[in-house]
Amino acid sequence: MNILVCGGAGYIGSHTVYELIEQGHSVVAADNLCKGHRAAVHKDASFYEGDLRDSTFLDKVFSENKIDAVIDFAAFSLVGESCSEPLKYFDNNVYGTVRLLEAMVRAGVKKIVFSSTAATYGEPENIPILESDRTFPTNPYGESKLTVEKILKWSDAAYGIKYVALRYFNAAGAHISGEIGEDHSPESHLIPIILQTALGQREQIAMFGNDYPTPDGTCVRDYIHVTDLADAHIKAIEKLFRDETSAVYNLGNGKGFSVKEVVEEARRVTGKEIKAVIEGRRAGDPSTLIASSEKAMKELGWTPRFNTLTKIIESAWNWHKTHPTGYNDK
């Protein structure tokens, strides 16, 4: 199949491009490179540099390629930043996807896998979280993704665009080949920051809040390996071709780790001391997010392979050790 991957130079996008190519698909990757890295895009993918908010750019991509399905990762994704700059998030994440859907309608492309998030739930009602649970985002990032899910539902009804929205929990780790990994600038995610501290690039890691209603007071998250997420996107595309029905799935390992536990495990994997201090809470953070991924396992036939925190941190450490300054292109 010929798959257009929007945001294909980003962290999860580049890992998905890699898996698609490994599995014999043709890939057109589009990215505005404002966050992504050209070097992260697999050499066998065709690459277009441009922005989803630019309809002329999108029409060019669709007219020059016969696209069977789209995977859309192109978005801003920082919870804290979204609270201070919400309009930036609605502009890029919502307006960009609307432009993409319009271009799909013009080009007659009717299948899309959308990168959604556990942040659509907000403070959860139940743990583990089911797809049918209440969605009430506590930050604009989650709100922007939930808004797109609603837009997808109505686009299915009106234009017959079938979609799978994948609600990721905490993406982490790096490709097993060591060729691609996580490189955000500035970095704000927990595991890369811990590993930068292990490398001596930071003096310490600040743990945001120790007064949450969790066993050790720090936030609990469900970490899922980026290659497992990539696999789920391919299985979602296969599902859309198999039964042509839209659906929403959680993607996580179903196991939660506190910030303190992640720091502890990273100390074990790296053999480094990794100084950690407690700071105040970060705006918009729910205390506990743990997925039930039963539905994805059953309906997509998806099983996470890198399903322990140890495997996730080991792969991330392998990338950070060999790429201490990331892709070196910013």
| Catalytic residue ranges | 141
CB of 259 to ligand UDP, least distance (A): 4
Site string for ligand UDP, 27-56 (x = CB under 6 A): ------------------------------
Residues 110, 221, 225, 235: which binds ligand UDP (CB under 6 A)?
221
Q: How far is the CB of 113 from ligand UDP (least distance, A)?
A: 19
Residues 256-275 contacting ligand UDP, CB under 6 A = 259
Instruction: Give the nearer residue to ligand UDP in terms of CB position, either 101 or 259.
Output: 259
Q: Which is nearer to ligand UDP, 183 or 285 (CB)?
A: 285
Q: How far is the CB of 27 from ligand UDP (least distance, A)?
A: 26
| Contacting range for ligand UDP; rule: CB under 6 A; set: 108-116, 128-136, 175-183, 199-207 | 199-207
193 is a contact residue toward ligand UDP (CB under 6 A): yes
- Nearest distance from C-beta of residue 220 to ligand UDP, angstroms: 8
Among 29, 195, 219, 274, binds ligand UDP (CB under 6 A): 219
Spell out the SS3 assignment of the chain: CEEEEECCCCHHHHHHHHHHHHCCCEEEEEECCCCCCHHHCCCCCEEEECCCCCHHHHHHHHHHCCCCEEEECCCCCCHHHHHHCHHHHHHHHHHHHHHHHHHHHHHCCCEEEEEEEHHHCECCCCCCECCCCCCECCCHHHHHHHHHHHHHHHHHHHHCCEEEEEEECEEECCCCCCCCCCCCCCCCCHHHHHHHHHCCCCCCEEEECCCCCCCCCCCEECEEEHHHHHHHHHHHHHHHHHHCCCEEEEECCCCCEEHHHHHHHHHHHHCCCCCEEEECCCCCCCCEECECCHHHHHHHCCCCCCCCHHHHHHHHHHHHHHCCCCCCCC
Q: Which residue is nearest to ligand UDP (CB)?
A: 219
Which x/- pattern over 156-175 shows residues binding ligand UDP (rule: CB under 6 A)?
--------------x-----
- Summarize as ranges the residues that interact with ligand UDP (CB under 6 A): 79, 170, 188-190, 193, 205-208, 219, 221, 259, 282, 285
